[in-house]
Chains A and B, each alone.
Chain A
């Protein structure tokens, strides 16, 4: 019986594997923590990376746009498919504006492709993108200086976006409004969370304690004896006998409510993040998508 069961199970497992749909899944490079630069092919030095990241932070904070640079050694798929997969899996650009731009460079394949989000298809039509790539990237790319070519293309695209979204670089470079927004939002959220927790705790305590108080044995005074109407005695007057209670035996309300101590650790309401402002704390706006519009290296 066990053997039969095992055979059936094995057959079902094989059947499931065989009928699983085979999708054209493109395995893409893992996204770098900086979000805006993924230099898997190691063609960019640290100063260029920092430059690209800092400019992107300004642009992303202001308009949600991103100009993401990805370099790889070799592609395992068509460059357009690869770029499409990166763009839509990483959700480049703002979710509503769809204003992401991706520059994918494959060092080993000697190829590159620039893809734009849905919202930039009319701003950066294919012929304009091709012009930018031909003028800024191709000469340096062909001569082997990929970093310089990427830097030039990035600068051109960045300036176009700055002009498009009226980005005030001087004002935006000193402050990072996205950090401040997140700090104030996270502080407010923390306060609300703490208030809600306190409310729940107090409510539970009150309910529990009042219930406990009701269940305690309360010394109630003995019920008064029933009124007894005695038959008339030989004396001439009726007597109603009802005892009186001394004040010490009257019931006392013993309900007690305990208030939480102020030193419970919830007192800090002006909590600000003490982490230094660095690229790792920057949270870019994402959610964008692309339909595949773009331009690549002329063959």
Chain B
């Protein structure tokens, strides 16, 4: 308590306390907002489960169906099929929106080739019908993913981090930008 008898020391301690409080509360606030943005990716804007993540899961399921159907008519070791299979396998190991986007891009790119192969070699109407149903689901999920507002929220949050004083607090406390799905 002798320490606080001197005015200068007391003022210094007070200022230090204020600064630490600001940094701590700023860090908590920014982290909380970052988590809210990430929740939009996994749970949806309205927390109703209609999110990019659930759409991706449905898209991957449709892709698996298409791969299974195609393997009945095309050699499973075909390059197009193995590339698509690899992308589908990597889906379970992704853990950030940027990684999910990279896998999504690979699936979409390879799906065109696989679909072309199936259409050429398929000679079964029932299989064609199943393929078309899966393709419809795939296309529909691509639409919903493209219209999802997640990236808009990410841009707003990252823009906030570029402004003062969030920029200073983020640099001092280690808060990073949220990765977009692009």
Chain A contacts to B: CB under 8 angstroms: 80, 84, 118, 121, 125-127, 129-131, 134, 291-296, 298
Contacts and interface: CB of A to CB of B under 8 A. Distances in A.
B133 A131 contact: yes
Interface of B: 48, 50, 132-134, 136-137, 139-141, 143-144, 146-148
Nearest to A84: B147
A127 B144 contact: no
Contacts of B136: 126-127, 129-130, 295
Most B CB contacts (10 A, CB to CB) among A127, A130, A131 go to A127
Contacts, number: 46
Given A127-B136, A291-B148, A292-B144, 8 more contacts: A121-B50, A121-B144, A126-B140, A126-B141, A130-B133, A130-B136, A292-B146, A295-B139
A291 B137 contact: no
B143 A293 contact: yes
Contacts of B146: 292
B155 to A, nearest CB: 12
A296 B132 CA distance: 12
Contact of A295 (B134, B140, B147, B148): B140
A291 B50 contact: yes
A126 B62 CA distance: 11
8 contacts: A80-B143, A121-B50, A125-B140, A134-B132, A294-B143, A295-B136, A295-B139, A298-B132
Q: Which 7 A-B pairs have the closest CB atoms?
A: A126-B140, A127-B133, A130-B136, A292-B143, A292-B147, A291-B144, A126-B136
Contact of B139 (A118, A121, A126): A126
B134 A127 contact: yes
A293 to B, nearest CB: 5
A294 B133 contact: no
A130 B48 CA distance: 25
B133 A293 contact: no
Contacts of B133: 127, 130-131
Contacts of A84: 143, 147
B148 A118 contact: no
A127 B59 CA distance: 12
Nearest to B149: A291
A70 to B, nearest CB: 17
A293 B48 contact: no
Given A80-B143, A292-B144, A298-B132, A127 B50 contact: no
A293 B140 CA distance: 5
Contacts of A293: 140-141, 143-144
Contacts of A134: 132
A295 B141 CA distance: 10
A298 B139 CA distance: 11
Contacts of A125: 137, 140
B140 A294 contact: yes
Given A84-B147, A294-B143, A126 B50 contact: no
Contacts of A298: 132
Contacts of A291: 50, 143-144, 147-148
B56 to A, nearest CB: 13
B128 to A, nearest CB: 11
A299 B147 CA distance: 22
Nearest to A291: B144
B132 A118 contact: no
B156 to A, nearest CB: 14
Nearest to B139: A126
A292 B142 CA distance: 9
